[in-house]
Each structure stands twice: as C-alpha cells, then as structure tokens.
C-alpha cells in the first residue's frame, strides 16, 4: 500500500475546516486537562486528607472527566438535543438502578449473616 | 435527498443521521448494562467488605497507566473523526493507527493484570469480589477488543478507495462514539473500583 493508492476525498468547505481547526485546539486542551486530572486523582489517594474529602473529590473529578469526554470528544454539545436525551435516558436509568440497589441492599436492610450461612 | 445527504457536514443539518442516532441509543442501553455490573460490584463490596482485600493484588501505577493510555486514545480518536470531516485521509489513517496501538496496549495491560491476579489466587470463582470484578472488567475488555477490531477494519477499508466524505465521515464518527464510550466507562471503573480502595478508612 503506497501513496499512489491514496484517493483524495472531496474537499470540505472552508468554513467547515475552520470549525474543525477550532475543535482541534479544544481537543488538545481537553486531552491535557484529562491527563492532569488523572495525575491529580492518583496523588489524591495518597494525601493525608479526610477520607470523605478524598472520596468527594475523586467523585467530582471522575464526573468532570466523564462529562468532558461525552460533551466534547463525543461532540454531544455540537449535536442535536435528541441525542443527549437518548444517551441521558440510559444514564438516568443506570444511575437510578444503582441508587435503588444501593438502598435496597444496604447492610442495614440485609441480614448478611443469614445469606452467608445459606 | 436522503437524511445522509442532509447530514453532509455531520453537524449542521436539521435531520439526524440514522446510524448516529442508533449508536447513541445503543450507548444509552450499554450504560444500563455497565451500570448494573458496576452497581453489583460495589454493593457486594459493601455487603462483604472482609471477603477479600484487593490491595493485595491491585497495582495502581499499572492501572493509572492504562487509564492514561485510554484517555490519549480517545484524544486521537477525536482527531481521526475531525480529519475525516475535513476529508484528510492520511491524517485519519495516522490517528487511527495511534488509537489501535493504544487500544492494544490497554488490552495487554489488562491481560497482564488478570494473569497476575490469577497467580495470586484471585479467580472468577474465588469469592464475590473475584466474580464481580472479572465480570465487569472482562466485559469492558471485550468492548475494547471489539473497538480495536472495528478500527482495524476501518483502517484497511480506507485503502480500498471506497471511502467518501459523506458516508465515511459518519461511519468513522459512529466508531468514534463507541470508542469514547469505552473510555468513559473506564473512567468510572478506575475511580469506583480501583481508586476508592486506596482511601484509608473508607471501608
């Protein structure tokens, strides 16, 4: 496979190229931010802070990473609202399932010894 | 004029591309799937905190490296999609190869991690921790492997000369959505399964 096989694609309009160039800078900045946050998360668990503070910080940082990737890398902020709703519905059900199971199967409600014996 | 033609620039039309809509719906359903797997792991971890100490086998440096690799692959995937929208086939190929390479590194790290855990005595049937951990991370690994295979197919397809700016940009974008999803699932797993275990006094 050489460059002679290369078939140039139809040229995109200039305005579209400008938009993509603008997004390129956004992607670079976001990648740097995500890498930095991952580094912060790694350091945070070894810091002598209160466990609740570390837990909350980790939760907030990972949520930020999640939203940032969905919004910019996955283009959701540039796309139609219905796509956000399609994905958001799944997210809401997933989160709801987690919360509901968390409450239903919390150690206060479940007799762990009885289950273990069984 | 078909909806695909309306969607020429991938973003600016009134009509939503069917492939893209279907992929978003699939990702929404996959969210529920992974939500259940992660919930199960965390709930069993809470119910049986003494069943296993994961710090005996976890290697946070390796997992952080895997996370970093997957994040960077997501970045390259975004560049590959952008290149396709601009009609730059060479740039698309370069970035896609990068994504494939990073994806393979991630899989290699996971295989190494699983082998290490098994050698340490943690298998799928050892205890509830092993069952839920392998099920969750294994399912994620399968998703990564499918993504790598998909991207390899797209890469070689780009040499057939059949790619065109309309259809192919959407096809690459849909593959990109899948890849980014695999990345965001790992973002959650990394925090909820690995990092939380290192917080002293939380359990």
Distance to chain A for B81, nearest Cα, Å: 9
What pLDDT score was predicted for residue A3? Answer: 46
pTM for this structure?
0.87
Asked if B39's CB is within 8 angstroms of A102's CB, the reply is yes
Q: Which residues of B touch A56 (CB under 8 A)?
A: none
**Got the DSSP string for chain A?**
--GGG--PPPPPPHHHHHHHHHHHHHHHHHHHHHHHHHHHHHHHTTS-S-HHHHHHHHHHHHHHHHHHIIIIIT-TTTS-HHHHHHHHHHHHHHHHHHHHHHHHTSTTTS-HHHHHH-
B9-41 pLDDT, tens digit each: 444 556 788 999 999 999 999 999 999 999 999
Distance to chain A for B115, nearest Cα, Å: 23
Asked if A61's CB is within 8 angstroms of B191's CB, the reply is yes
Asked if A20's CB is within 8 angstroms of B71's CB, the reply is no
Provide mean pLDDT across the span B129-139: 96
Residue B3: is its pLDDT beyond 50? no
* Interface probe, candidates B73, B87, B89, B189, chain A, greatest A C-beta count within 10 A: B87
Residue A55: is its pLDDT beyond 50? yes
CA dist., res. B27 & res. B137, Å (int)? 17
Distance to chain B for A46, nearest Cα, Å: 8
Asked if A58's CB is within 8 angstroms of B199's CB, the reply is yes
Asked if A1's CB is within 8 angstroms of B87's CB, the reply is no
Residue A1 or A111, more confident: A111
Residue B85 is nearest to which of A12, A27, A79, comparing CB atoms?
Answer: A12
Label residue A52 by pLDDT band (50, 70, 90).
Answer: very high
Which stretch of A16-20, B134-138, B156-160 has the lowest confidence by average pLDDT?
A16-20
- In contact, B183 and B144? CB cutoff 8 Å: no
CA dist., res. A16 & res. B176, Å (int)? 19
Label residue A2 by pLDDT band (50, 70, 90).
Answer: very low
Residue A83 is nearest to which of B16, B38, B86, comparing CB atoms?
Answer: B16
A60-95 pLDDT, tens digit each: 999 999 999 999 999 999 888 999 999 999 999 999
What pLDDT score was predicted for residue B101? Answer: 98
B82-117 pLDDT, tens digit each: 999 888 999 999 999 999 999 999 999 999 999 999
Question: How many angstroms from the chain centroid is the CA of residue B32?
Answer: 15
Size of interface A-B (CB pairs under 8 A): 178
CA dist., res. B8 & res. B136, Å (int)? 38
Residue A6 or B116, more confident: B116
What pLDDT score was predicted for residue B14? Answer: 62
Which stretch of A1-10, A25-34, B96-105 has the lowest confidence by average pLDDT?
A1-10
Asked if A42's CB is within 8 angstroms of B39's CB, the reply is no
CA dist., res. B38 & res. B15, Å (int)? 35
* Interface probe, candidates A26, A86, A117, chain B, greatest B C-beta count within 10 A: A86
B144-180 pLDDT, tens digit each: 999 999 999 999 999 998 887 767 899 999 999 999 9
Q: Mean pLDDT across chain A, nearest whole number?
A: 83
Q: Which residues of B touch A17 (CB under 8 A)?
A: 86
Asked if A94's CB is within 8 angstroms of B35's CB, the reply is yes
Residue A22 or B123, more confident: B123
What pLDDT score was predicted for residue B203? Answer: 61
Residue B7: is its pLDDT beyond 50? no
> What CA–CA distances, in Å, run from B176 to A114, A117, B75, B90?
47, 48, 10, 17
Q: Which residue of A has its CA nearest to B192?
A: A59
Q: Which residue of A has its CA nearest to B167?
A: A9
Asked if this assembly's ipTM is beyond 0.85, the reply is yes
Asked if B21's CB is within 8 angstroms of A83's CB, the reply is yes
Asked if A46's CB is within 8 angstroms of B43's CB, the reply is no
The dihedral built from the CA positions of residue B2, B29, B194 and B149, taken in this order, carries a sign that is: negative
């Amino acid at each position: 496979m050489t460059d002679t096989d290369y078939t140039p694609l139809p040229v995109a309009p200039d305005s579209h190229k400008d938009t993509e160039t603008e997004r390129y800078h956004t992607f670079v900045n976001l990648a740097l931010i995500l890498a930095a946050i991952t580094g912060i998360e790694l350091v945070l668990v070894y810091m002598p802070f209160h466990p609740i503070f570390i837990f909350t910080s980790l939760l907030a940082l990972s949520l930020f990473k999640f939203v940032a990737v969905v919004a910019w890398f996955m283009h959701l902020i540039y796309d139609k609202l219905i796509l956000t709703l399609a994905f958001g519905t799944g997210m809401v059900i997933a989160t709801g399932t987690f919360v509901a199971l968390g409450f239903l199967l919390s150690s206060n409600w479940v007799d762990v010894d009885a289950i273990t014996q069984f | 004029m078909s909806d695909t033609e309306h969607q020429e620039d991938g973003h600016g039309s009134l009509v939503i591309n069917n492939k893209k809509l279907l992929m978003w719906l699939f990702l929404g359903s996959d969210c529920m799937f992974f939500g259940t797997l992660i919930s199960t792991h965390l709930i069993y971890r809470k119910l049986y905190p003494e069943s296993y100490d994961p710090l005996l086998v976890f290697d946070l440096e390796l997992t952080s490296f895997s996370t970093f690799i997957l994040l960077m692959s997501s970045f390259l995937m975004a560049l590959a999609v952008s290149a396709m929208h601009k009609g730059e086939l060479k740039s698309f190929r370069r970035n896609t190869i990068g994504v494939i390479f990073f994806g393979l590194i991630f899989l290699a790290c996971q295989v190494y991690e699983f082998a290490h855990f098994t050698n340490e005595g943690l298998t799928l049937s050892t205890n509830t921790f092993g069952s839920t951990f392998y099920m969750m991370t294994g399912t994620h690994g399968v998703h990564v492997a499918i993504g790598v295979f998909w991207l390899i197919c797209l890469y070689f397809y780009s040499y057939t000369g059949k790619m065109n700016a309309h259809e192919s940009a959407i096809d690459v974008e849909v593959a990109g959505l899948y890849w980014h999803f695999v990345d965001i699932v790992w973002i959650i797993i990394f925090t909820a399964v690995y990092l939380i275990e290192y917080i002293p006094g939380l359990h």
